[in-house]
Structure 1
Amino acid sequence: MWFEQAEEAERAQDWDTAIALVSARAECYSDDHNLHGNHLWHMDLLAGAGRFPELTELARTDPHARRRLNRALRDRRMEPALRRRAEQGDRDALYVFVRLLCTTDRVREARLAVQEIDPDNAYALGIVESHRPG
């Protein structure tokens, strides 16, 4: 019953209700796949609600929150926030930021960002190189 209520609240964008219902039944890295799935759903709900401060706090220790926050920042084209996160050492934020720049035809800007933020990061450089004009 709670599941259907949470789904309905999410559809209605009643974020407080949906988050309360799901978070009460969520556990990061649980052996119970339902609890872990609810944890991922909880992160999605926080992103959908635009609760970036909560996601940012959770992202300090929770890789799922960190990745979901970075994707939400990308989806909302919040490039300065992604760049800040990358500059603070969040490699996932760097990769998301660089991909965003590359997929919006700003490969030169992406290359410069990698040089400024983490010039020895082979993976980030590989993202840039994979978007070079043919």
Structure 2
Amino acid sequence: MRTGLRFVLPSLILGGLAACTSAPPPAPEPRAAAPEAAPTQVGQASYYGPQFNGRQTASGARFDPNSDTAAHRTLPLGTVAEVKNTETGRTARVTIRDRGPYVRGRVVDLSPRTAERLGMKQQGVAPVEVRPVAVPPGREAEAAAAMASTR
């Protein structure tokens, strides 16, 4: 009996330690926003310059110019939004991972890849409509308030 405990006890302790050091559970997936809770915001979009490549965003992720990352002042981080260039009619989906832009009249900063998709990279700034399409669970009211306060 005593020799059995010598093998079981260390494995229980090590198993308990492994459980304590395991990675946290993944964040819940954003849910689709109800149309009435997702008004459209109109303004100017710009895009991140090369000096931001690799820098940490407000969400903690590193900025990748080829990603779908966008910055918005008030939408909850993790929100998926649809951005439409009103001059070209092109649309793209982005994930809000950063804060900004901090220039009057601008409502969103986009990754260079997204700016290219929207046909605005040459001019640098374009008129856009921003509409949240998926909001992290429990943050729907916050997203609706963010869009209502920035009209």
TM over 0.5, shorter chain: no
Question: Which of the pair has more CA radius of gyration?
Answer: 2
Structure number having the greater strand percentage? 2
Structure number having the greater helix percentage? 1
Greater RCO between the two (CA within 8 Å, min separation 6)? 2
Band the TM-score falls in, shorter-chain normalisation = under 0.3
